[in-house]
Structure 1
């Protein structure tokens, strides 16, 4: 539940900040007449996200076991790819998000007033689809479906309240630190989803090695115990992973965490660097 809560909170806060920027900019430029169309686009994004969640939940039941496992494995890998991209995109574009969105609004108005609908749908829909896919993959990996869904919805609700408070000047906190630490946490969550997806593909005989554990931690963490349930619900932990799962988890964490830390170091260095001198320096 905690992992899904943080997923809902982070994605919901990103979407809330995007909506706040778009609404504020339309008001600032005197185009409040386009707010209705923006909200239509946001409504479409929410509907698509709910549809994706419903399709992922009930769609696979008519498939064979092998087909379900293949679909589950592929979607888990897709969820990992999307959340990884989201973590790095926010890390590199967070500082320029406002200016980029304002530029997109200007371009949309120049093309067509109805292009605002598309902008709203795409800006918010990306976050919604990512949330639906990643929460589904995490729940499918062992989290309780009801608790997982409740956790995600609670995170989104919290994000809405925080985003509203920020827009009204009632809430102040370090967004950079929030996205940095949740990014680190989500890398570990994504690694567990990756291992679960590999296990699905092994069960479907797409990847060999299913049924041969690399090691067993059942003596330390008994299956079905509270620690097993806690770690499984948050990180998709399994006490008897296969070699493919161990290699996949280790490689993903090592590479992704290293790249993420490098990105954070570069961002910190850039923020600490003194401003560049003016280009129009006096000559002679």
Structure 2
């Protein structure tokens, strides 16, 4: 229970904090340039973006009840793949654009102020809608994969609420947070979580019959038991392993492993392959991006340390005291010639 709550809470906190920081930058800039009269237009765009995200989540949730089981699994698997793609793209986008995000947003506000009313509404909408839709899809995919969906949803809502409060404190200057370190560590956690969502997406697609697997007629069969083969005999469309006798699928340990690393007590070979390939490709790229962001900061620190200090000013001579004799110099005048 706590595992699913913590996983969705952290994702809601991270994704919500990104959106809160974007809004904080926009509000602070409008205040600094003396255009507080434009804030209602900005908040209108932000409100529309939040409404869009909620509408998308509601549409996916309620429409799924009207579908057949295979259609539900196909919808869940497809949306999970989309969510993983969006989250992965956002992680690397933040690595590259995080340092210039503030100047880019302020430049967009300047252009919007020169335009009409809808220009400022649009910049508020676009700036938040991207985060909102991505967060909705990713959280929806995660919540669907958990057995205790209510607790997972509560964790996401609380995470988003905490993010909004933290963003307000940061914008007001009442809280200082090492955002670079926070987004680095939470980004690494998101990479692992996304791998788990990807594996679960393959599970849904196999259950829907969109991908071959142990649920279809083409699954490899163990001749001794007549059941779907497990282990090496099950490659590539059977079960990779089944440790349900050791880790019960409904146990707290199973929920913790699924919420953090995407592990399930019983997984297909396609799930395992998808998880391994994603981690093998994305993790090195993520680490390279983290190191690449550290080099400019290290170079700036080295450049600042190499700047020679300004020479100390020579002490001014002490004024002569009344008892100290002052030497006088005499000059010889050159006579003028007529």
Cα distance in 1 for residues equivalent to 2:300 and 2:22: 29
Q: Please tell me the root mean square deviation across aligned C-alpha atoms, in Å.
A: 1.6
Q: What whole-Å deviation, never above 9, does each CA across 1:137-173 have from its counterpart, x for those lacking one?
A: 0011124221111101111111111111111221112
Higher RCO by CA contacts (8 Å cutoff, separation 6 or greater): 1
Alignment of 1:144-155 (within 5 A): 144-155=148-159
Cα distance in 2 for residues equivalent to 1:177 and 1:262: 15
Q: Is 2:291 the partner of 1:265?
A: yes
What is the Cα deviation at residue 94 of structure 1?
Answer: 1.1
Q: Is 2:241 the partner of 1:215?
A: yes
Partner of residue 47, structure 1: 51
Alignment of 1:131-142 (within 5 A): 131-142=135-146
Cα distance in 2 for residues equivalent to 1:41 and 1:139: 28
Partner of residue 70, structure 2: 66
Residues 1:143 and 1:14: Cα distance change in structure 2 (over 3 Å): farther
Runs of 4+ in 1 over 3 A off after TM superposition: 233-236, 274-277
Cα distance in 1 for residues equivalent to 2:147 and 2:115: 45
The answer (yes or no) to whether the contact 1:46–1:125 under 8 Å persists in 2 is: yes
Alignment of 1:115-134 (within 5 A): 115-134=119-138
What is the Cα deviation at residue 219 of structure 1?
Answer: 4.1
Alignment of 1:21-40 (within 5 A): 21-40=25-44
What is the Cα deviation at residue 230 of structure 1?
Answer: 2.0
Partner of residue 247, structure 1: 273
The answer (yes or no) to whether the contact 1:77–1:197 under 8 Å persists in 2 is: yes
Partner of residue 157, structure 1: 161
Q: What whole-Å deviation, never above 9, does each CA across 1:15-44 have from its counterpart, x for those lacking one?
A: 111111101111112221111100110110
The answer (yes or no) to whether the contact 2:19–2:131 under 8 Å persists in 1 is: yes
Partner of residue 263, structure 2: 237
Q: What whole-Å deviation, never above 9, does each CA across 1:174-214 have from its counterpart, x for those lacking one?
A: 11000000000011111111001101111111111234211
2:253 aligns with one of 214, 227, 251 = 227
Partner of residue 256, structure 1: 282
Structure 1 gap ranges (5+): 278-284
Find the residue that maps to 1:214 and give its secondary structure: strand
The answer (yes or no) to whether the contact 1:210–1:242 under 8 Å persists in 2 is: yes
The answer (yes or no) to whether the contact 1:199–1:210 under 8 Å persists in 2 is: no
Cα distance in 1 for residues equivalent to 2:193 and 2:173: 32
Partner of residue 75, structure 1: 79
Query: Normalising by structure 2, what TM-score?
Result: 0.79
What is the Cα deviation at residue 134 of structure 1?
Answer: 0.7
- Compare CA radii of gyration and give the structure with the larger one: 2
Moved more, 63-72 or 17-26: 63-72
Partner of residue 98, structure 2: 94
What is the Cα deviation at residue 131 of structure 1?
Answer: 1.3
Q: Is 2:46 the partner of 1:20?
A: no
Structure 2 gap ranges (5+): 216-237, 304-338
What is the Cα deviation at residue 53 of structure 1?
Answer: 1.1
The answer (yes or no) to whether the contact 1:142–1:236 under 8 Å persists in 2 is: no
Partner of residue 178, structure 1: 182
Number of equivalent positions: 277
| Greater percentage in helix | 1
Q: What whole-Å deviation, never above 9, does each CA across 1:236-273 have from its counterpart, x for those lacking one?
A: 42111111000100000111111000111111112211
